[in-house]
Structure 1
């Protein structure tokens, strides 16, 4: 049986933010939890529970969600190396792991990204950070190297990273005995969750350092060198590994995702690798034909207008678009002709226009490419 769309499983839109996805997941997890569904419907509830868990694990991970949005289920297929999951784990950590994570998420745990550290303390991976960068169309086409300032954490010099006021020290948490976790009972299950008193550190600081407020680290900022690849487009992201928030209890840091935003361009509109522009053309040039210059990202190009060029006519310049990040060849430039009607005519020019119009009328419909077809449509309307 084909898998359902993950967004459909959770009942959220494809552009739903993380908090909405988490809220929808919690609601489904509570509804289909095996402890709440006994008897005849237990099997069906268990399948829905597992389905919701898998959907949440994919959509709550920035990398997996991006792969799923681009390639669908194939992008996160364990057989294609999309994510870890050994034999018997059903491709998303197994049902046993799902039970442990869902309990922690519903009853106060910190969710995914954790593992056991030394002394039984929970080790957490740092959160990912997002940075919006606005670039021009020219920068997107050619690529660029730039610098950005992001927040970072450094060990507190006052307490040397201990979090305790100088001259004092941290003590073992009495609630969890230094393990960082406590157990609570829910029905037939004993649930392990992060200790609410020490927040998983296994330690209590009676007298926190006044500089870092007991965190053992202070917030600073640092400069990162960022390389924007040529051909990048709106909504694409660049991953900077290890530059997210620091982990807890020695856990690895998260990643920084630089999200690209495109500034509006005065002339061009981008459509994938193709560019579009509107070229104003005078009435005389459109009527008699002639050569016009059109702008491109690489300079100028010429287009030969045939005699009688009509408003809205589109000319295609091959290879004058943008070469995308994953493209082998550049796109095309489409020039849309906009014929300009003369304004603020002199009396002499008005007379010339009237004389010209009179000569057109005497010539019948042969000067108008659409007159006959339009007349036929009018006749058909009154039949």
Structure 2
């Protein structure tokens, strides 16, 4: 036995079943092939699953602690040194052969196993992500067979003891060598190590104890989530073979871009166009906030008044506290940043042109002298300084 299952899960040898389950879930979420980018994550995930399969089953765990192989796999102890049996030869078999001991049975495998975890993606609007929502999610997963209730056999029938291994789940072969009789144990080929066979498999699930099904679950989205956040739903994944316990479901969120607001952390940013005269004289505007997309609020709460001071320049940002995105962890909300874009008129009639000409004369700006300023930070730096 070369693999230390306790070390794989990172638990002590006296760990409780709950501690083993908790450690498995933590590692499975980290190394799941749909989640991890590491090329070796698939092998690591398989190793974690094998360790959990052994340690969460009291019978398999007890057999493993005694030095047995609860999964019926063949060791590679001395297979590379020309001993009989090749890769299937085990050091335990060698000792048993030398001392005439009988190889103990590994016992039948359980047909019931835990199902795999599942990962699905759910799209949200910016308002749904900001303020939270309970949203239905349709998932395609394995559920317990409604006909046989996970037993795998037709109703009214039961699995029968395997006649090849007589319910042991494995068979022992004896080979003669210069060391004496060498016994090798392997899973029964008839029952595949289960110890029983199903003569009349369920017609609905073909003996699997589970079937594929579409179902709808309601997912509660907390306020303040963002793209990439995941929601963990315990036991909402796939039902395991033999009607085993369901795995967990992970819902990864994707927030769609908004056509007006841009999210920056917990802040919302919006650009508002202001006429040149309004920017020069000063004014107050009423702006629709993101709350305007909610149906459960009074319309008066969906707007905010923004005071624009006289002489406002293009690129000025006005911050309104408490009107951004609610913080996912902790109280309060971010701010709403309103960036003003001053609009210069492009088409003027004769009267408007004459008024502007007189205005320029009053300000002695008929022929303004423009001097270019030097900026060491380059064009990008100049733009940043201009609009900061």
Instruction: Report the counterpart of residue 3 of structure 1 in structure 2.
Output: none
Structure 1 counterpart of 2:332: 329
Cα–Cα, structure 1 residues 126 and 376, in superposed 2: closer, same or farther, change >3 Å?
closer
Distance 1:19 1:321, change over 3 A: closer
Offset at residue 357 of structure 1 (A): 5.3
CA contact (8 A) 2:170 2:185 kept: yes
For the residue of structure 1 that corresponds to 2:224, the secondary structure is: coil
Of the structure 1 ranges 294-303 and 350-359, higher mean CA displacement relative to structure 2 is found in 350-359
TM superposition shift of 1:164: 3.8
Residue in 2 that maps onto 1:66: none
**Residues paired across the two proteins, number:** 281
1:155 touches 1:218 (CA, 8 Å); kept in 2? yes
Q: Quote the offset at 1:284 in angstroms.
A: 1.1
2:215 to 215, 222, 226: 222
* Aligned counterparts of 2:314 and 2:289: Cα–Cα separation in 1: 21
- Alpha-carbon displacement from aligned partner over 1:198-250 (angstroms, at most 9, x marks no partner): 66655444554333222233333333233222222222222221111112356
Is residue 313 from structure 1 mapped to residue 313 from structure 2 by the alignment? Answer: no
- For 2:208, what is the secondary structure of its paired residue? coil
Within the candidate set 229, 232, 235, 2:228 is matched to 235
Distance 1:178 1:126, change over 3 A: farther
2:122 equivalent among 133, 141, 156: 133
What residue number does 2:296 align with? none
Alpha-carbon shift at residue 130 of structure 1 (Å): 2.2
Instruction: Map 1:340-359; keep pairs closer than 5 Å.
Output: 340-353=343-356, 356=359
Partner of 2:137: 148
Residue among 8, 14, 24 paired with 2:40 = 24
Deviation at 1:276, TM superposition (A): 0.7
Structure 1 residues 362 and 354 mapped into 2: Cα distance closer, same or farther (>3 Å)?
closer
Kindly name which structure, 1 or 2, has the bigger radius of gyration based on alpha carbons. 2
Q: Which SS does the other structure have where 1:231 is aligned?
A: coil
TM-score by length of 2: 0.56
Give, in whole Å, the separation in 2 of the partners of 1:200 and 1:227. 43
Which runs of 5 or more structure 2 residues have no equivalent in the other structure?
1-29, 53-66, 75-86, 88-105, 173-183, 292-301, 377-388
Q: Does 1:361 align with 2:360?
A: no
- TM-score with structure 1 setting the length: 0.57
Over the aligned positions, Cα root-mean-square deviation in angstroms equals 4.8
Matches within 5 A, 1:86-165: 119-121=108-110, 124-151=113-140, 152-157=142-147, 159=148, 161-164=150-153
8 Å contact from structure 1 (residues 121, 178) kept in 2: no
Q: 1:346 to 1:23 in 2, by over 3 A?
A: same
Q: 1:280, CA displacement in angstroms?
A: 1.0
Alignment-derived partner of residue 271 in structure 2: 278
- Answer yes or no: is the 8 Å Cα contact 1:122–1:200 preserved in 2: no
What secondary structure does 1:232 align onto? coil
Aligned residue number for residue 62 of structure 2 = none
